[in-house]
Amino acid sequence: MSRTDYPAEMATPLLPLREAMKQSGDHTAVEALTDLISKAETKHLTIAFCGHFSAGKSSLINSLCGKRVLPSSPVPTSANVVAIRNGKPRARIYTSPNVSADNKAGTLEVSPEELEAYCKNGGAYSSIEVWDNIPLLQDDAVLLDTPGVDSTDRGHSLATHSALHLADVVFYVMDYNHVQSETNLSFAKSLSDWGKPLFLIVNQIDKHRERELSFDQYVDGVEAIFAAWEVRYDGLLFTSLRDQQHRYNQWSQLPELITELMTKKEELISHSLASSARHITEQHLRREAGKREDEETALLEEVGGQEGIERLDRELALLDEQAAELRAKPSQVREKFRAEVDSLLANANLTPADIRTSAGYYLESRKPGFRVGLLFSGGKTEQEKQRRASELVRLLQDQTSSQVEVHIRTMLRQLGEANQVWDAAWEQALNTELPAINEELLELKRSASAELSPEYVLQFSKDVRGEIETRYRKSAMLLADRILEALVAQGEAALQALDASRAALLAQSAAAARYTALQRAAAEEAAGLRSLLPPAGPLPSGLLPEVKGPHVPAPEPGEAPGSQAGMSASVAAQPQTEAPAPPRRAAAQGAPATAGAERRRRLDAAAARLEAAAALVEPYPAMGSAVRDLRARAASLAGGTFTLALFGAFSAGKSSFANALLGEAVLPVSPHPTTAAINRIMAPAGGMEHGTARVRMKTREAFQEDLAYSFRLLGLGEPGTEWQKRVKSLTPSDVHPAGRPHYSFLQAAAAGWEETADQLGQDVLVDLNGYRHFVANEKKSCFVDSIDLYYSCDVTEQGIVLVDTPGADSVNARHTGVTFNYMKNADALIFVTYYNHAFSQGDRQFLSQLGRVKDSSAMDQMFFVVNASDLSSSEEELEQVLDHVGTELRKNGIRSPRLFPVSSMLAMEGKMDGNDDRLQQSGFIRFEEEFNQFAGKELADLAVGGASEEMARVVQRLKQRAEDAAQGEETLRQRRDELGTISEQSRQRIERLAQRSMKDELSQETNELLFHVRQRLAFRLGQFMAEAFHPSVLREDQGNLKTAFAACGRELLRMIGIELEQELLATTLRLEQTGHAWVGKQVTECINEVKQLTGGIDLSLTLEEKWSTPVLEEIRLEEPSGWKNYWSYFRNPKQFFEGDGRQRLQEALEPVLKQMMIEVLPASEQKLVQFYDTQVHQSVQHHSRQLTERLEEAVTGIQDSLASGIQAEQWVALSKQLEQLQE
């Protein structure tokens, strides 16, 4: 057989394997093997490109083809598997999965120009084939382009996984900034386990910035993370299509590598066919195991697991022994009791000497001729006979009672109590059924014919004793037998239980036999199928081309080596602050600072005017509250800060964006996740120097809560004291994608525990390098609660506090209350998304909450940034991305978003290097201009407007004083006399305000709001189901699908729990608005009524109040039966996703989940009502005190006008002075 014929010959052993699969009814395996047989016959080397949806797979393929064969875009394009071949330009669309290239039915022939629409609309087509003039491929190779492995579309995921069995070589393409994505690592691991040649491509390395991280550190980090995940690969390339001259670019090696691989196609195809056949067979065996799993699990549960089988014989023998003991026990107890009675009677001295003497007297009285006295002796004789008999009976009764009866009673009582049958009735039975000692017994044993003699007296005593023993023995045993009847009944019940246990064990024994038979049959089937497989093994050493690492030349002049480490091992080793900063373009880098400066100038000016106004009215006692209000408002303006909060997913570029805003490289920047806790950057204060940070560590309790949450989410139960050992035994392949941040958290916590545990609950003060170490090193950052960095720069010195939050998809995203408070209270919000990879699932929940906050806000303070816009290849592509982002924002409730494409990298370079062109290119100037307009004008207008309103109220009060003074002394005196009564009525009205309660309205409003919450969540259950039970997780090659299924269930509960918490927090906004409106209405009504009562006294006051947000308990939905009861809805991925499995599961889960929500919400509802009832009560109390004070000041003002003689002109002049200050 020639090498050329070898792959075709490989089809031969696949034929019986396919026939065996047909016999077993596995259509999935049959279809896959049919594909392999066809592949073996065509002998084309198939090279698959997989990766993130925006990693640049399609662009790489187009470059390899030398032309635009596939559509490429930063938004998802490939929705199908597209096969590219060399040939006459055309495209074929397969509309049925069963159509082959030789069968024209179910296919569409289209021109290359029409291809793009079909690539995007993959739902209606199974696959696409494209031919074009591609010399690289010759007639030997096929390129496969697959949908993104992280796509949320289940069809995309299924298409990718279903095509890989045809691939001979796999190139896995990753975005430079997302190599450490958990999805990347998990999928690369599954490819590695498949055993096919795997080459990793880190694309878009033109994003690398040496000043942020040296390239060799980046490469070390990439290699380390894949080693940690045990991903075995055959080559690692770093490429850039945008910058072909990039000094680390290995793009030129890729066509050479493919060309060399084509020369090895026979060996590669043979290896691929064998690997795929083995993989298909193993998948079949997994499916078959899945079919048996319920029965085997049930059988194992019957026998108590593997160890239970070994225990069966021992337990059956023990049961037989226990049954024999139970059956023998009544007779054993009876014999023992009889022996004790016999012993008692045998040792009892019933006829001692005194009784024998009495017996002689008794027998003497019974001799014929016995009489007493000579005269009238008949009566005396009978009396003497009776006395002697009675005396003997008494003596016998006393002796028997002490020697026998008391002991028999005790023995019977003990016997009864031991068998739980003794009661008052048994005590009565002793009294009635134990034998009596009487004359009848004596007469029974007396012989009338016997001669009275000492010998006969002795014999008579013996006979009496024997009769007493017989009677007591008989009575005692009769009573004992009745007691033992209860023991027999108890024994019968116990025997029945033992018989049931024995029957169950016998059934288990049968179950064990059935389980063993199933295992044997499965092993025989597996051995039979594996014997049909073609021989497989590792590729010969040296067969695959060697991929050399990127050449790392010396740094170019003026370029510093990497200094901001994204890898934990290098953070501390790179001092960043000692090097002098490059010259900066002051005007450009200071736009946020300009906004802050303009805002600060206006607020300081407004504060000065308020202070001047307070000084003018301070000499007048009747204006005391006005002075306090003016000065309080001035203090808030003069000392106020501006909080700017950044949100977004990891690697969206939040930290890079923050640095661009600050105009300095303050935060560590890395293509790998860094920010794990809230970071606040502010001007030095409170004794903290520039470049120092206060790191607030989690308390031990908070860390344990985070630990327990991650353990529960991963299905690991409670952590326990040996949690570190358990964490180290975890493997990433067992983790649901949504749980992988928690896997990383646990790994980091276990690695850093010994070093960091003693610092829990403390504040740690560090310098800038120490700060960056805490931020970027996950082994430390996982223990951090928050960090305040004190850094002096133009932005922070203007009062701006920059808040950098963890990614919306991080472990800390579960702390919804912290994030919500920043959303609610920050002066401005910036949401950063990444140009090539927007909107993760974590983003969507986060953005939905942003939409709710925006709807409740009086001002639109949100900015949305698409970072890394420099990656766009054209204006058209940029617009396409912005349209996509805008559409997604609107889907998540963000209407009319302020959207800015920027490049924080170019902006930073422009500011640091003083390069105006780069700054202009970055798009940052437009953002800063609008931000400046917002912060420097819109927000300042709001604050200054509040100050003006405060001043206007004081002016109005002064004018009221002027009107009062202008009325004349007589009128004022009359008005003063009237006010005595009127002011008392006014005080009573204000007191009624203080007693008002809103509790009933709050209860009704809260109940209605939470009803709508339940409705909204019930409406979205289908969406949650689709995201949690996703085909990328429940795959044939996943391993233990039952475990994966349970992980999907836990993820569903996590998503619903977080959404419930988000909804509850949004409900607090609505309740707060309702409460403010109610308080405002009550206070306004009170002010108006007082105005009417007093003839015009206006007590108007500021109703501005900030209420805190209640701290709500974390929503924890309990797992329903560990998901065991729902496993029956999942037979295999195809049935579950393409059939009705997932829909039927949803229908089964919906009532359970709705009931869960009904059960968890009442506690939150009660807390919300109580919290806002208290807030409302405190608010009306506060405003009542203010109104009372103003009323007293008004009355005092009229009295002062009479006493001091202040003229109206003075009040008018004073009001004009204040009006001049307002201008």
Q: What is the pLDDT of residues 878-890, one digit of tens each?
A: 888 888 888 888 8
What is the rounded CA–CA span in Å between residue 538 and residue 549?
A: 23
* Residue 582's pLDDT band (cuts 50, 70, 90): very low
Whether residue 233 contacts residue 196, with contact meaning beta carbons closer than 8 Å, is answered with no
What pLDDT, on a 0 to 100 scale, did the predictor assign at position 152? 47
Question: How confident is the model at residue 1172, as a pLDDT?
Answer: 92
pTM above 0.95, yes or no: no
Which residues 6+ apart lie within 8 Å of 1046 measured at CB? Answer: 715, 1122, 1123
Neighbouring residues of 180: CB distance < 8 A, sequence distance ≥ 6: 221, 225, 671, 672, 673
CA distances (Å), origin 1128, targets 289, 1061, 1119: 14, 31, 17
Which pLDDT does position 619 carry in this prediction? 84
Each residue's pLDDT tens digit, 679-716: 899 989 888 999 999 999 999 998 998 888 888 878 78
Residue 635 lies in a domain: no
Give the C-alpha distances (Å, rounded to integers) separating 331 from 125, 321, 490.
84, 16, 14
- 1104 and 1035 in a single domain? The answer is yes
Q: Where are the beta strands (DSSP E) in 76-152?
A: 82-86, 90-94, 107-110, 127-132, 141-145
How far apart CA 906 and CA 923 sit, in angstroms, is: 9
Which tens digit of pLDDT belongs to each residue from 762-804?
999 999 989 988 887 888 888 998 899 999 988 888 788 898 8
In a shared domain, residues 369 and 263: no
**Unique residue bearing structure tokens 């103003």:** 1190
Task: Calculate Rg over the CA atoms of the chain.
Answer: 47
Phi, psi of 200 (to 5 degrees): -100, 135
Token representation of residue 94: 């397969």
The model's pLDDT over 411-421, given as tens digits with 9 standing for 90+, comes to: 988 888 888 78
**The tokens of 1042 are what?**
């039952």
Closest CA to 824 of 1014, 1022, 1068: 1068
Q: Which of 496, 519, 534 is the last residue of a domain?
A: 496
User: H or E stretch including 774?
Assistant: helix 768-776
| Nearest Cα residue to 1202 out of 1032, 971, 1033 | 971
Is pLDDT of 580 > 50? no
Q: How many domains does the chain have?
A: 3
Q: Is residue 520 part of a domain?
A: no
How many residues can be counted in the chain? 1223
The CA-atom distances, in angstroms, between 768 and each of 7, 103, 786, 1163 are 62, 68, 15, 44
Is the same domain home to 356 and 277? no
Helix H, strand E, coil C: the string for 532-597 is HCCCCCCCCCCCCCCCCCCCCCCCCCCCCCCCCCCCHHHCCCCCCCCCCCCCCCHHHHCHHHHHHH
Q: Which residues contact 1180 (CB under 8 A, 6 or more apart)?
A: 993, 994, 996, 1079, 1082, 1083
Amino acid at 426: W
Whether residues 1001 and 1130 fall in one domain: yes
Residue 863, SS3 per DSSP: strand
Write the single-letter amino acid at 1146: Q
Specify the 3-state DSSP secondary structure of 239: coil
Are the beta carbons of 960 and 624 closer than 8 angstroms? no
Q: Are residues 284 and 330 in the same domain?
A: no
- Which DSSP letter does residue 259 get? H
Please state the φ and ψ torsions of residue 236, each to the nearest 5 degrees. Answer: -130, 120
* Average pLDDT estimate for 437-452: 84
Asked, for residue 411, whether it belongs to a domain, the answer is yes
Q: Are residues 269 and 390 in the same domain?
A: no
**Using an 8 Å Cβ cutoff, are 309 and 303 in contact?**
yes
* pLDDT surpassing 70 at residue 72: no
Give per-residue burial for 689-725: e unless 16+ CB within 10 Å, then b: eebbbbbbbbeeeebeebbbbbbbbbbbeebeeebee
Residue 695 lies in a domain: no
Structural domain includes residue 216:
no
Sequence letter at residue 882 = L
Residue 77 belongs to some domain of the structure = no
Two tokens, residue 252: 């030129």
Pair 371, 276 in one domain? no
- Determine the pLDDT at residue 586: 40
Domain shared by 278 and 400, yes or no: no
- Identify whether 484 is part of a domain: yes
d(CA 1176, CA 1080): 10
Residues 273 and 377 in one domain: no
| Bridge partners of residue 969, in order along the sequence | none
**Lowest mean pLDDT segment, chosen from 108-112, 406-410, 657-661:** 108-112
Task: Classify 364 as helix, strand or coil.
Answer: helix
Higher pLDDT, 936 or 690: 690
Beta strand 141-145 pairing with 899-901:
unpaired
**Contacts of residue 61, Cβ cutoff 8 Å, sequence gap at least 6:** 49, 69, 70, 84, 143, 145
**Angle, CA 473 vertex, CA 468 and CA 479 arms, to 5°:** 125
Three-state secondary-structure class, residue 1116: coil
Residue 1021: inside a domain: yes
**209/217 Cα distance (integer angstroms):** 12
- At 1073-1085, the pLDDT tens digits run 899 999 999 999 9
Residue type, 1076: H
Residues 998 and 1090 in one domain: yes
Task: Read off the pLDDT of residues 469-499 as tens digits, 9 standing for 90 and up.
Answer: 999 999 889 988 888 887 777 777 777 887 7
> Are 515 and 303 in contact, with CB atoms under 8 Å apart?
yes
Mean pLDDT of the chain: 80
What is the β-pairing status of strands 107-110 and 141-145? unpaired
1054 with 1120, same domain: the answer is yes
| Single-letter residue type at 905 | M
Looking at the fold, whether 329 and 277 belong to one and the same domain comes out as no
CA distances from residue 1071 to 1059, 1067, 1109, 1167 in whole angstroms, order as listed? 18, 6, 10, 12
Contact between 194 and 164 under an 8 Å Cβ cutoff? The reply is: yes
- Cα 588 to chain centroid distance, Å, stands at 43
How would DSSP label each residue in 501-534? HHHHHHHHHHHHHHHHHHHHHHHHHHHHHHHHSP
Domain that holds residue 1062: 991-1205
Q: Give per-residue pLDDT as tens, 419-444.
A: 878 888 888 888 888 898 888 888 88
pLDDT in tens, 939-961: 778 778 878 888 888 888 888 77
DSSP string of 1012-1076, one letter each residue:
HHHHHHHHTHHHHHHHHS-TTTS-GGGS-HHHHHHHHHHHHHHHHHHHHHHHHHHHHHHHHHHHH
Look at the block and give the residue holding tokens 């510093």.
Answer: 560
SS3 69: coil
Q: Does the pLDDT at position 552 exceed 60?
A: no
Lowest mean pLDDT among 115-124, 629-638, 713-722, 1088-1097: 115-124
* pLDDT tens, position by position, 485-534: 877 777 777 778 877 877 776 666 777 777 778 888 888 888 888 888 88
Q: Is the pLDDT of residue 1188 over 80?
A: yes
Q: How far apart are CA 435 and CA 474, in angstroms?
A: 9
Which ranges in 304-352 belong to alpha helices (H)?
306-347
- Which of 81, 149, 53 is CA-nearest to residue 1033? 149
- Share in percent of the chain as helix, strand, coil (round to 5): 65, 10, 30
Amino acid present at 1216: K
